[in-house]
């Protein structure tokens, strides 16, 4: 009997699961021209050694009747309980906290990457459930581009530049020069929130170059753009991009290359910016010579590039990673000011973009109709915190903080409900986060795996993976809606988030409010038919649900593939005013200037990178690049075969340049400590070229395995989780976003005694059942 072939999808692509009894093999879709190798990681999804097999309660919490909050991993053992008792405990704690503290004391935490499905979207599920109970404190923004989104609202009046930039087809037809601050790494193009049925971005980049477009990119890493694109690499240290951007603007201004007509008609504030470039505010002209001293990029390189950008049809692209830094909001003012001075905003193939190459969906046409979406209901609680400030909120309840021109107070959070994510992947300063999570009265986590967050919960509920559920897959940038057929039955006692919430809601007397009397397939049919009605209203057609489910897919009606960002505004700025106070591009925002934030005065501005406190080491610190890994999505399926193959002897790699390694006595594949005042991380050195001197690179997503007993300052992690070292500080008071790329570290060889102690500590953790060793 031949294996059953079942089509499913994920954030990194559509795949086929070949089910032959208990054996499952995962193959990329044959329809995908450039499938992601991340598909290989699915082989770890059903490994019972890594799964939460039944509900667990922290024994010390249970015995102390909820009064024990010392949630250090390994110090307390979990005890298995029945679903009946787990649901009773959960319902009781929710009722208690709401009665005693109010709904504002509940934090509905979910980052939404648990599944590409439209129904089993963890964030929608937990928010719908909590809204049925009277609401919760939520979060605003993202770790990926929190600074950029806030800044764009003030500069352009919307985030359309992120959600719908100029299409790839238009760039191929018209763009002559693509200048990137940050790269176009292929690993990012494998992933898209909501999935991708066919990876097209690599092909678009190939066609762009074949059509004659040149690519120039500023990055600390040469491999930030695929070698086949023959792009020009201009090496630069993280945080120094703004100096180059200002100098490019200076050349355009001083050499008469700036488009004064566009600046006068479509922008406000260019006079303030011009004065700043010439040094009227601080006595420092932002000339190429000045920029060379700040960034190491040659003054003549900057002059030549500015002239070339002015003569060619040029698009300026800012990668998301570049704004994940101290004062990252200013980078948006910088690239938009540069594009405006070039005079090409709103022209086909010219202007500015924020995120080409950052996901598979950027630059693709969008759906004409809203996709199937689980309604979350209305949250009566108006309190929300910037997503990257969760540790601040837990540690400092009632404290005042500034955010986007307003003053707020952190709520007193007493119950943390986490579903569909792992903050021990994406948050910064994990030692601080671990301390913050000792404060709430109760933490509940839905998780398939023993993640860092699951280990610090009081109640751990075994959630199924996407392979164990039926769903509908789709993304706004994808032309197909996919039927996600369940591949296998649930592992152990795992249940879907929906089933967990439905049972708990029924116990709390709001069962129908949550599930509306529908089971999983009932909801899928309902959401699909709602979508089909919108499709027909838009003049298109889609098959009935039963036909869709049998066929496996339905075509999504898409907008035309010839979009030009800001084209309508360029054609008629009076008829198509931007949603800014002036209706124009605000190169200087009087509104933001009025907030009184010294770090972000409302225009492009240079601020030197903060320096790490000295540790008395013989060699200076290295600037650390902490980008997303190429072997997995965030920390998901860390134990998958492709993820594990990219480790060095089972240890997370840190890349370091040849000269930097030599002066520190570090050899290739040697075990080292990467450290600063916050802590230390064990890693394996990968020594090579293609990096700016003074820079190291280590990807996020490794397990958080803190140990004690080693003579190292701060939190010591033997799992390789680099976010032990990144500083938990808001990008600025404007965005309060993640600033992970403003981090400095030292690196030294690990001694034999330290290696033995670290290996023993890790082995001891693995003997407890693998807890903490799988990302979410």
Among all residues, which ones are annotated catalytic? 111, 113
Would you say the C-alpha torsion 321, 306, 212, 332 has a positive or negative sign?
positive
d(CA 360, CA 347): 23
* The pairing of beta strand 471-473 with beta strand 480-484: antiparallel
Q: H or E element: which one contains 480?
A: strand 480-484
d(CA 121, CA 135): 18
Tokens at 652, concatenated: 């997370």
- Helix/strand/coil for 580: coil
d(CA 556, CA 648): 43
Crossing angle of helices 83-101 and 497-507, rounded to 10°: 60
For 207-225, the DSSP string reads HHHHTT-EEEEEESBGGGS
* CB proximity list for 369: less than 8 A, separation 6 or greater: 531, 534, 535, 537, 538, 540, 556, 557
Q: H or E element: which one contains 419?
A: strand 415-419
d(CA 496, CA 486): 12
Name the DSSP letter for residue 610.
P
d(CA 20, CA 22): 6
Burial label for 594, CB within 10 Å (0-12, 13-18, 19+), is: exposed
Short-list 18, 20, 23, 17, CA closest to 1: 20
d(CA 11, CA 637): 12
* The pairing of beta strand 78-80 with beta strand 671-676: unpaired
């Amino acid at each position: 009997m031949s294996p059953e072939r079942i089509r499913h999808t994920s954030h990194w692509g559509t795949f086929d699961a070949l089910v032959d009894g208990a054996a499952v093999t995962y193959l990329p879709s044959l329809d995908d021209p450039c499938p992601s190798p991340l598909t290989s990681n699915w082989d770890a999804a059903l490994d019972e050694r890594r799964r939460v097999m039944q509900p667990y309660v922290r024994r010390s919490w249970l015995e102390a009747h909820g009064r024990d909050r010392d949630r250090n991993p390994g110090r307390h053992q979990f005890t298995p309980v029945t679903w009946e008792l787990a649901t009773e405990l959960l319902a009781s704690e929710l009722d208690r906290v709401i009665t005693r503290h109010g709904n504002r004391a509940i934090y509905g935490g979910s980052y939404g990457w648990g599944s590409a499905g439209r129904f089993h979207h963890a964030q929608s599920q937990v928010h719908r459930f909590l809204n049925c109970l009277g609401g919760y404190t939520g979060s605003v923004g993202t770790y990926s581009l929190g600074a950029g989104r806030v800044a764009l609202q003030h500069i352009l009046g919307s985030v359309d530049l992120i959600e719908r930039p100029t299409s790839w087809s238009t760039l191929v037809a018209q763009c002559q020069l693509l200048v990137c601050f940050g790269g176009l790494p292929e690993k990012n193009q494998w992933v898209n929130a909501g999935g991708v049925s066919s990876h097209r971005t690599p092909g678009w980049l190939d066609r762009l170059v074949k059509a004659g477009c040149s690519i120039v990119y500023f990055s600390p890493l040469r491999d930030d753009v695929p070698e086949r694109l023959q792009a020009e690499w201009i090496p630069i240290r993280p945080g120094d991009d703004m100096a180059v951007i200002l100098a490019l603007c200076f050349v355009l201004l001083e050499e008469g290359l700036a488009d004064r007509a566009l600046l006068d008609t479509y922008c406000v504030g260019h006079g303030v910016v011009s004065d700043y470039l010439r040094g009227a505010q601080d006595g420092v002209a932002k000339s190429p010579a000045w920029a060379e001293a700040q960034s190491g990029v040659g003054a003549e390189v900057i002059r030549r590039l500015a002239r070339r950008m002015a003569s060619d049809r040029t698009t300026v692209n800012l990668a998301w990673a570049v704004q994940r830094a101290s004062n990252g909001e200013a980078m948006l003012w910088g690239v938009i000011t540069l594009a405006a001075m070039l005079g090409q905003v709103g022209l086909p193939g010219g202007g500015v973009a924020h995120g080409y190459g950052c996901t598979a969906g950027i630059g693709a046409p969008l759906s004409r109709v809203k996709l199937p979406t689980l309604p979350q209901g209305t949250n009566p609680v108006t309190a929300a915190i910037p997503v990257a400030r969760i540790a601040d909120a837990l540690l400092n309840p009632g404290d005042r903080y500034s955010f986007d021109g307003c003053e707020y107070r952190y709520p007193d959070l007493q119950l943390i409900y986490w579903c569909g994510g792992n903050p021990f992947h994406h948050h910064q300063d994990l030692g601080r986060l671990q301390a913050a999570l000792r404060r709430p009265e109760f933490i509940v986590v839905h998780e398939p795996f023993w993640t860092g967050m699951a280990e610090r919960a009081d109640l751990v509920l075994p959630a199924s993976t996407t392979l164990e559920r039926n769903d509908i897959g789709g993304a706004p940038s994808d032309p197909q809606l996919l039927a996600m057929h369940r591949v296998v039955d649930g592992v152990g006692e795992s249940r879907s988030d929906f089933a967990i919430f439905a049972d708990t809601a029924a116990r709390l007397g709001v069962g129908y409010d949550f599930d509306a009397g529908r089971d999983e397939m009932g909801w899928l049919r309902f959401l699909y038919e709602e979508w089909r009605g919108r499709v027909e209203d838009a003049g298109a057609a889609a098959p009935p649900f039963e036909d869709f489910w049998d066929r496996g897919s339905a075509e999504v009606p898409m907008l035309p593939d010839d979009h030009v960002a800001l084209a309508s505004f360029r054609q008629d700025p009076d008829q198509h005013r931007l949603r800014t106070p002036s209706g124009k591009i605000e190169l200087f925002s009087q509104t933001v200037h009025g907030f009184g934030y010294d770090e972000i005065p409302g225009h492009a501005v240079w601020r030197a990178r903060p320096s790490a406190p000295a540790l008395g080491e013989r060699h200076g610190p290295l600037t650390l690049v902490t980008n997303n890994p190429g072997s997995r999505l965030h920390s998901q399926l860390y134990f998958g075969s492709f993820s594990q193959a990219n480790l060095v002897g089972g240890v997370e790699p840190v890349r370091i340049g040849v000269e930097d390694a030599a002066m520190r006595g570090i050899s290739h594949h040697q075990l080292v400590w990467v450290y600063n005042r916050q802590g230390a991380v064990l890693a394996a050195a990968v020594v090579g070229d293609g990096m700016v001197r003074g820079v190291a690179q280590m990807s996020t997503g490794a397990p958080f395995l803190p140990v004690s007993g080693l003579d190292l300052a701060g939190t010591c992690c033997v799992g390789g989780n680099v976010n032990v070292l990144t500083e938990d500080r808001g990008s600025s008071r404007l965005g309060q976003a993640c600033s992970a790329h403003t981090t400095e570290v030292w690196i030294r060889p690990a001694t034999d005694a330290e290696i033995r102690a670290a290996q023993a500590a890790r082995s001891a953790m693995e003997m407890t059942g693998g807890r903490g060793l799988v990302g979410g």
